[in-house]
Chains A and B, each alone.
Chain A
């Protein structure tokens, strides 16, 4: 029962979706102000979701309808699960299980898989293009992300439990206050977060102007609403994961919110000041310079810096 409560309400579905939608509003509002527009009211994202739920859902002909309908749900539910595990490890750092970091990382891959499978089931060439780009994007950021995570693992003496990573930082210092930790954190905020959240400049999979939202092209109504909700939840989860990994010294509510806002603002500003990269440029960037820098961070961490 306790599991169900934390899964559905706090810190799971309702809570994270609420924060995520508000954060999404913040994104829209700041973007609007940068472009000298007024921007929507704070409840706009909630209305959007409600409206989408009421619309009819169009299923492409000649495809596996069940796959098309259900794949958004699996991505959504596992994002909620990852959020729940993460949230509980912040509230009760001692209650987690060994290796929950790896479980969370893998659960956070499932939304990507669900987007790819859903897009493949769309029976549309543009969706297929989007799916292939989504996968390449994931391959791109996954490599340096793993290097950055190994920096944390080295720094905390082989902890792969979120709770013990937090505890280690509480009793020593945040991982960011070292050369390797800072480098890794910087790479993650500048490159990983926008790519994982599908923000410009790394939004080639769902480029509206080129491939008409690619992976989402055939989705409407219910399925689209679920995808949007998943995005919102990830907008809450991903920065919090970074905070836990690198800024875990003080996780009281006020500091948590401040840290979260700072990361969110950085991502939004990057989004509004950069043009979209082509997918091959993204791969070259992520496997080239960014990957090498992340590798450097691992070496630094191994040497104790």
Chain B
């Protein structure tokens, strides 16, 4: 069977296919216990398998029509999977998701139609458009919005936090956290690298969207007190780095963006699965009810810690490497502009600061999570007694190990095998010696331990109750949970105004769209008042109009 005109395997989509397979297997293993004795199990597994198959088709196809159809079907399975939870909130979320993702599919249809009109073919490897007409611009923007809706960049992000909060956690870990990111950013990279010849305005546009997404979403994450919603906002904010990286248009930046997409899928699904472990044991995901779980769920704690540090971009984990490449891309972009382009240079600098400060804010909200869930004082977790079963901790451990390997051996493993072949024209770039640095840190640790295990130097450890205000009894009464960690920030004057607006749904395109549609609807409602004479008047007026047209034209 000849696959070529319909399907094509190249260096960009090959490794994405591999990772789709990996996430599929891990989620299947995980679901064995997590979904045990839930309703609609047969449907659940059916949709999970369908999603994996559809994703593979989307990734490997070479035909825009096929891409469009299966892209739309993925939106459908997402809708069905969110609905598995079978309560009111979930079905509202599913509706919202379907409207946003489906709406963007319509734009994609328009974009593909324009591409066909301009180039006369649906074969992706035959298309190469440059931005010389407004039609091309329109086509590109339509496709970009479709990618953004799938991956969750602003302003079409608002379904992800809701989905994270109300859908089953495995679904969130599977679709918005990993597969949708892979697909959305894959398509963005595909159209920006292959289908269109990028120009400087489009690059700047992507970079600004990326920077805004990073900062705005992470500021929202900072004040959340539900872990799942917090993670959902991070799933939005991290997309900013990928868009920013691809938007730089510089080889290092693009490679960084694609690498970040891969890394994000890995640590974010690890985080969602660890949260699922916590929720499975404690039956809650509210920060103020949790606390002190590190002793009870040690494996979950460690993998969650690794993933948190990765997402915050702490060396030597994988998030650091990709962020570092993105920064480098921005700086290269900055130097590429000569001194006359003050505005462009300025945007690049702002994006750089936004990206780096965004990673500080990410760190802050994950410190809150680690403190509130695993460390800190004990919450009301009375029913917890032991670590979850191996089928549930194994996927998180595997993902955490991948985080470490991709960080420490960034150059020999993921970059060389997956990323660099996919991006043309990369001349690497001094490596940062993650291996050597890690080795030095480990050596230092070993040295320290061996020195302190000498007989005379051995430190004496003793366990005692914590102590406050010269007594130990008051401790149970004063618990600092994660909820009030950043209230100071929330109460700053300007920010508190923005936060109030954001919580009222002011920046949510779905809420605004709803308001718009209902406003139109109210106008029509006014006409439909149910009184027979008024309908008769309408009929009469319509008839008169018709007669006028027929007789006098």
Q: Are A73 and B429 in contact (CB under 8 A)?
A: no
Bound Cα distance A131, B364 (Å)? 10
Tell me what chain A mostly uses at the interface: helix, strand, loop, or mixed.
helix
Question: Would you call B304 an interface residue if the criterion is a C-beta within 8 Å of the partner chain's C-beta atoms?
Answer: no
Question: A302 to B346, Cβ gap below 8 A?
Answer: yes
Q: Counting chain B CB atoms within 10 Å of each CB, which of A80, A126, A158 scores highest? A: A158
| Segment with Cβ contacts to A, from B135-143, B202-210, B261-269, B473-481 | B473-481
| Contact code string B450-484 (vs A, CB < 8 Å = 1, else 0) | 00100001011111111110000001001110001
Measured between beta carbons, the chain B residues less than 8 angstroms from A49 are none
A64 and B475 in contact (CB under 8 A), knowing A74-B441, A97-B430, A122-B466? no
Interface string of A270-289 (1 = CB under 8 A from B): 00000000011001100100
Contact with B along A56-80 (1 / 0, CB 8 A): 1111111111010100011001101
Chain A residue nearest to B333 (CB atoms) is A158
Closest CB of chain B to A187's CB: distance in Å?
A: 14
Give Cα A69–Cα B478 distance, bound, in whole angstroms: 24
Partner of B328, one of A4, A96, A98, A122: A98
Q: Determine how close the nearest CB of chain A comes to the CB of B463; give it in whole angstroms.
A: 5
What class of interface size applies to chain B in its complex with A? Answer: 35 or more
Where chain B touches its partner, the secondary structure class is helix
Asked if residues B461 and A57 are in contact (CB atoms below 8 Å), the reply is yes
- Within 276-319 of B, Cβ neighbours of A (below 8 Å) are at 292, 294-295, 298, 301, 309, 313-315
Quick check: is B353 within 8 A (CB to CB) of the other chain? Answer: yes
Decide yes or no whether B14 CB sits under 8 A from chain A. no
| B370 sits at the interface (CB 8 A) | yes
Q: 0/1 per residue, B402-434, Cβ < 8 Å to A?
A: 000000000000000000000000000111110
Q: Mark A9-31, 1 if CB is under 8 A from B, else 0.
A: 00001000000000000000000
**A212 to B466 Cα, complex, angstroms:** 13
**Distance of A7 Cα from B480 Cα, bound (Å):** 39
Per the bound structure, the CA–CA distance linking A302 and B541 in Å amounts to: 66
A102 at the interface (CB under 8 A from B): yes
B324 touches A103 (CB 8 A): yes
CB distance A120 to B371 under 8 Å? yes
Q: How far is the CA of A132 from the CA of B491 in the complex (A)?
A: 15
A-side contacts of B448, CB under 8 Å: 73
Pick out which of these stretches binds chain B: A104-112, A165-173, A188-196, A230-238: A104-112
A298 close to chain B: CB less than 8 A: yes
Task: Verify A131–B371 contact, CB threshold 8 A.
Answer: yes
User: Contacts A56-B460, A73-B445 given: A117-B334 contact, CB under 8 Å?
Assistant: no
Chain A hits for B467, CB < 8 A? 124, 218
Q: Which of B94-102, B112-120, B354-362, B508-516 contacts A (4 or more CB under 8 A)?
A: B354-362
* A109 near B444: Cβ-Cβ < 8 Å: no
Q: Are B370 and A117 in contact (CB under 8 A)?
A: yes
A59–B463 touching, CB < 8 Å: yes
The segment from A34-42, A134-142, A251-259 found at the interface with B is: A134-142
CB distance A62 to B295 under 8 Å? yes
A-B contact list, 19 entries, CB within 8 Å: A57-B459, A57-B460, A58-B462, A60-B465, A61-B464, A64-B298, A81-B437, A106-B313, A113-B314, A113-B363, A128-B480, A132-B371, A132-B484, A132-B486, A138-B364, A143-B353, A143-B360, A158-B335, A212-B468
Residues of B within 8 A of A (CB): 292, 294-295, 298, 301, 309, 313-315, 320, 324, 327-328, 331-332, 334-335, 339, 342, 345-346, 349, 352-353, 356-357, 360-361, 363-364, 367-368, 370-371, 374-378, 429-433, 436-437, 440-441, 443-445, 447-448, 452, 457, 459-468, 475, 478-480, 484-486, 488-489, 491-492
Q: Give A contacts to B, CB under 8 Å.
A: 3-4, 7-8, 13, 53, 55-65, 67, 69, 73-74, 77-78, 80-81, 84, 96-100, 102-103, 105-107, 109-110, 113, 116-117, 120-126, 128-129, 131-132, 135-136, 138-139, 142-143, 146-147, 150, 153-154, 157-158, 160-161, 212, 217-218, 221-222, 279-280, 283-284, 287, 298-299, 302-304
